[in-house]
């Protein structure tokens, strides 16, 4: 079975005791852990022999990365700002300049985030043969940093950059060095943190920022991720649908409705771990409103 390509860097395996387990400013409030619910999740996991896990932005909030939609603490709740649209990025050099200036400032912090106890638990499930496949909508590479290999990054990875003309891929850290070379005296202070390595800058701060082109063909550069308004690669979607068909149970951690519908049509048992209600709740046999980094490490992978 083919593996999805990993991000272009060497993953650093962390021990769970060194992980970030405390709730941070981007984690919505939730009820205290219910031991009966822990037992129910344990039974759900124990009964599965081909467990498929799908994760979304909520799993990384406990690593200090904000998401868009979490109640009271997500970007949409905190500000009136909205994420960049694919068509704007592709068509406008000014939009690309603004995006890359903000990403340049945010990259050192974003790239330094480490997996939390939930990422590490899922990686250990894989090593012990419990997790059949992991699909993530996240672009932060935290699953890869945790050591996961049976992994599909549905929306790409911020640690890669591609050329919109020739398709050449380069590591994001290499682009950071090129930014520094082109902007030796440019300085900007961020006015807030957004998801996916973005920060808030003023137009005056952005105006003098220089953006490099592809070193191979001179084309415009884009992070290797799916922006809002773009579509996920069809082959990747088909690949995930095959994994759904092969699985015997689905654990959803803040993630994708369309694949949950496919699992429901296949009559797979579905567990949803998400603080707050989701569209998938009525399809699940088990719903849990707890922090994923608190509950997942308690589950024995057998």
Instruction: With cut-offs at 50, 70 and 90, classify the pLDDT of residue 302.
Output: confident
Instruction: Indicate the annotated binding residues for NAD(+).
Output: 56-76, 137-140, 274-276, 292
Q: What is the DSSP string of 54-99?
A: EE-GGGGGGGT---SSSTTTSHHHH-S--PPBHHHHHH-HHHHHHH
How many separate domains does the chain show?
1
What is the distance between the terminal CA atoms of the chain, rounded to a whole angstrom? 23
17 assigned to some structural domain: no
User: 175: Cβ–Cβ under 8 A, 6 or more apart, which residues?
Assistant: 161, 212, 221
What would the mean pLDDT of 179-185 be, rounded to a whole number? 97
CATH no. for residue 41?
3.40.50.1220
Selected catalytic residue, list 155, 165, 191, 241: 155
What gap in Å lies between CA 137 and CA 85, rounded to an integer?
17
30 assigned to some structural domain: no
Instruction: Indicate the annotated binding residues for Zn(2+).
Output: 163, 166, 214, 217
23 assigned to some structural domain: no
What would the mean pLDDT of 153-169 be, rounded to a whole number? 97
- Residue numbers of the domain that contains 57: 35-298
What would the mean pLDDT of 166-181 be, rounded to a whole number? 97
What gap in Å lies between CA 160 and CA 225, rounded to an integer?
8
The pLDDT value given to residue 69: 63
258 assigned to some structural domain: yes
The pLDDT value given to residue 72: 63
234 flagged as catalytic: no
3 assigned to some structural domain: no
40 assigned to some structural domain: yes
What gap in Å lies between CA 208 and CA 105, rounded to an integer?
14
Instruction: Indicate the annotated binding residues.
Output: 56-76, 137-140, 163, 166, 214, 217, 274-276, 292
Interval 59-100: pLDDT, tens: 999 998 887 666 665 555 566 666 789 999 999 999 999 999
The pLDDT value given to residue 71: 65
Residue 86 main-chain phi, psi, to 5 deg: -55, -45
10 assigned to some structural domain: no
The pLDDT value given to residue 19: 38
């Amino acid at each position: 079975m083919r593996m999805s390509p990993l991000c272009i860097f060497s993953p650093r395996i962390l021990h769970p005791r060194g992980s970030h387990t405390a709730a941070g400013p981007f984690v919505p409030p939730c009820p205290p852990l219910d031991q009966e619910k822990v037992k129910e999740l344990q039974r759900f996991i124990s009964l599965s022999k081909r467990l498929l896990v799908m994760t979304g932005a909520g799993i990384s909030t406990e690593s200090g990365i904000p998401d868009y939609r979490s109640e009271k603490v997500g970007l949409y709740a905190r500000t009136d700002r909205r994420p960049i649209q694919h068509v704007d990025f592709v068509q406008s050099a000014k939009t690309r300049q603004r995006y890359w200036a903000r990403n340049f400032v945010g990259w050192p912090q974003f790239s330094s985030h480490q997996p939390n106890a939930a990422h590490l638990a899922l990686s250990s499930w894989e090593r012990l043969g419990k997790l059949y496949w992991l699909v993530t909508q996240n672009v932060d590479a935290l699953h890869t940093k945790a050591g996961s290999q049976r992994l599909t990054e549905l929306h790409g990875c911020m640690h890669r950059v591609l050329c919109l003309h020739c398709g050449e891929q380069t590591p994001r850290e290499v682009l950071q060095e090129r930014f520094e070379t082109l902007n030796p005296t440019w300085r900007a202070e961020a006015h807030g943190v957004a998801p996916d390595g973005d920060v808030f800058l003023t137009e005056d701060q952005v105006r003098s920022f220089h953006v490099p082109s592809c070193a191979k063909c001179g084309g415009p550069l884009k992070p290797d991720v799916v922006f809002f308004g773009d579509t996920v690669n069809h082959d990747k979607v088909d690949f995930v649908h095959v994994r759904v068909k092969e699985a015997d149970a689905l654990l959803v951690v803040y993630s994708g409705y369309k694949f949950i519908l496919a699992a429901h049509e296949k009559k797979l048992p579905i567990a949803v771990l998400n603080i707050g209600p989701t569209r998938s709740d009525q399809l699940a046999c088990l719903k849990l409103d707890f922090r994923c980094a608190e509950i997942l490490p308690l589950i024995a992978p057998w």
